[in-house]
């Protein structure tokens, strides 16, 4: 991308990247390919024109004017963004961009973040340096192995995939740490290091779910749909013509299994699970929020194939409609960036967004093309409560056959999956405190009596959700029954 902009004669380019050295090397490569001179400047190192002695220049205005000494050159200025808000600096920059363009001078500004003053927004083009590709990481792995005088594993796929989403420096450190801890290149060690580094960003979190879709009670329609989509990630399916699925929006009652489904999906598909915390996207500095969403989506694409989970997305999107009046349009711009990415993304990132209140979601978020499907997750059916009780009892290392499931189901009308789980946990506490005896059906039934289902206070909202779902969503609930002739029958509410 940088090479194309330089070839096109753009006078000034801003590269946003935490990988300063890698960005400089890319600029140097482009300069050599295009047979241009190459020069760099920083406030600490001064001016360095390739092949000439360094010059001690600290003044930012003088640094911009240095270009008059160059001809047909790529001129890189590092961490220059703090100076650009000075009227003397941005005025000099505008003058120099215009004057030096005819002489083949291209200014390249490299920094970890950029907020351009209004006066320069139309004068400069902003790009970002992509995170390392698989091939780049594989080459780095070979270099680390050579430096450490150890052999490269025959199959490097798992180690390289574990490093996806890291910068070259971070990946190099992770590979080195793996060698120190295990004596070899270990994918789990690299993945664990990546988890810490991604969490450090404050926007994305990596989860390691330990439950799969089989351990999710009910929601047979949703599970069946998701289980069919995993095949699209195989090379054979792509050769056949299948495209990577885009994602699903799960709308429904709180505690009905939406978030659990997102976690279980990643485990079933054996893909990384990234959680985007929309509340952490918004920063206090100008341009910080927009940079956060771009960085989060860039990491998600670098880690792909992956599952990106947005929990209770309506809370993060609150205020979009009034954003121009309340926050100078920051929320609207962040939302717009995410919507465009949802529509245009090519990387195999499967998005699972959950919402409890569909009326709080902007209409454009629900438009066809953003997600493959919108599912409505209702209160569990009778059959689903049977399934949930069996799943949750097994989860506590008990045999469901030792319990009266029918009695448990009849005492939990309108209970969500989360409330059923809480009843079992409370029953276990009761039996433990009663002489540490084995839990029984009566313990769990007694526990249900102290739980007021969330549906009791949400009748109106739930009915409104059901009415909306009839026209706008597909039902996630139901029990799929395969008949002897191979046909499938779905038992619904």
Q: Quick count: other Cβ atoms within 10 Å of Cβ 338?
A: 24
| Residue 238, pLDDT score | 77
Q: What is the DSSP letter of 132?
A: P
Q: In the predicted model, is pLDDT for residue 400 greater than 90?
A: yes
| Residue 294, pLDDT score | 81
Measured in degrees and rounded to the nearest 5, phi and psi for residue 137 equal -70, -35
Cα–Cα distance measured from residue 64 to residue 11, given in angstroms and rounded to the nearest whole number: 13
In three-state secondary structure terms, 381 is: coil
| Residue 440, pLDDT score | 95
Rounded to the nearest 5 percent, the helix, strand and coil shares of the chain are: 50, 15, 35
Whose tokens are 């050579």? That residue is 146
Q: Give the residue among 134, 127, 143 at the shortest CA–CA distance from 161.
A: 134
Structure token digits, residue 89: 């600096």
Task: Indicate the pLDDT class of residue 330, thresholds 50, 70 and 90.
Answer: confident
Question: What DSSP element (H or E) covers 306?
Answer: strand 306-310
Q: Which residues pair with 402 in a beta bridge?
A: none
Question: Mean pLDDT score of the chain, rounded to an integer?
Answer: 85
Answer with the residue of higher pLDDT: 302 or 357: 357
Q: Is 488 exposed, middle or buried (0-12, 13-18, 19+ CB in 10 A)?
A: exposed
Q: Are 386 and 405 in contact (CB under 8 A)?
A: yes
Structure token digits, residue 287: 């341009």
Q: State mean pLDDT over 242-269.
A: 88
Cα–Cα distance measured from residue 207 to residue 127, given in angstroms and rounded to the nearest whole number: 30
Structure token digits, residue 454: 């969330």
Q: Quick count: other Cβ atoms within 10 Å of Cβ 112?
A: 13
Q: In the predicted model, is pLDDT for residue 234 greater than 80?
A: no
């Amino acid at each position: 991308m940088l090479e194309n902009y330089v070839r096109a004669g753009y006078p000034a380019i801003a590269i946003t990247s935490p990988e300063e050295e890698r960005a400089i090397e890319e600029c140097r490569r482009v300069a050599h390919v295009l047979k241009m001179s190459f020069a760099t400047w920083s406030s600490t190192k001064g001016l360095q024109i390739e092949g000439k002695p360094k010059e001690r220049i600290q003044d930012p205005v003088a640094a911009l004017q240095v270009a008059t000494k160059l001809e047909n050159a790529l001129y890189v200025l590092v961490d220059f963004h703090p100076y650009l808000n000075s009227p003397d600096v941005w005025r000099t920059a505008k003058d120099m961009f215009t004057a030096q363009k005819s002489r083949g001078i291209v200014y390249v500004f490299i920094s970890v973040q950029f907020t351009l003053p209004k006066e320069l927004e139309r004068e400069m083009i902003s790009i970002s340096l992509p995170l390392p590709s698989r091939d780049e990481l594989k080459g780095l792995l070979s270099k680390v192995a050579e430096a450490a005088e150890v052999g490269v594993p025959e199959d490097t796929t798992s180690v390289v995939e574990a490093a996806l989403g890291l910068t070259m420096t971070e990946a190099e450190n992770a590979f080195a740490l793996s060698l120190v801890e295990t004596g070899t290149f270990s994918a789990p060690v690299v993945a664990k290091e990546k988890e810490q580094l991604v969490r450090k960003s404050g926007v994305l979190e990596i989860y390691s779910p330990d439950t799969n879709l089989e351990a999710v009670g009910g929601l047979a329609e949703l599970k069946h749909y998701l289980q069919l989509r995993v095949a699209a990630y195989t090379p054979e399916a792509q050769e056949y013509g299948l495209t990577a699925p885009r994602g699903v929006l799960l709308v429904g009652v709180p505690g009905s299994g939406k978030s659990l489904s997102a976690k279980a999906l990643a485990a079933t598909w054996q893909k990384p699970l990234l959680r985007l915390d929309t509340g952490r996207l918004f920063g206090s500095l100008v341009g910080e929020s927009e940079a956060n969403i771009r960085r989060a989506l860039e990491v998600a694409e670098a880690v792909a194939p992956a599952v990106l989970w947005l929990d209770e997305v309506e809370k993060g999107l609150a205020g979009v409609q009034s954003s121009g009046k309340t926050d100078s349009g920051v929320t609207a711009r962040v939302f717009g960036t995410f919507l465009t990415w949802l529509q245009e993304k090519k990387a195999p990132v499967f998005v699972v967004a959950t919402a409890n209140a569909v009326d709080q979601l902007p209409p454009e978020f629900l438009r066809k093309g953003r997600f493959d499907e919108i599912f409505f997750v209702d209160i569990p059916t009778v059959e689903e409560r049977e399934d949930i009780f069996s799943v949750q009892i097994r989860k506590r290392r008990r045999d469901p056959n030792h319990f009266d499931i029918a009695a448990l189901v009849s005492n939990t009308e309108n209970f969500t999956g989360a409330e059923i789980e809480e009843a079992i946990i409370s029953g276990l506490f009761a039996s433990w405190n009663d002489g540490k005896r084995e839990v029984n059906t009566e313990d769990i039934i007694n526990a249900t009596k102290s739980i007021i289902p969330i549906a009791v206070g949400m009748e109106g909202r739930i009915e409104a959700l059901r009415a909306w779902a009839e026209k706008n969503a597909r039902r996630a609930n139901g029990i799929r029954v395969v008949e002897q002739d191979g046909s499938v029958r779905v038992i619904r509410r």
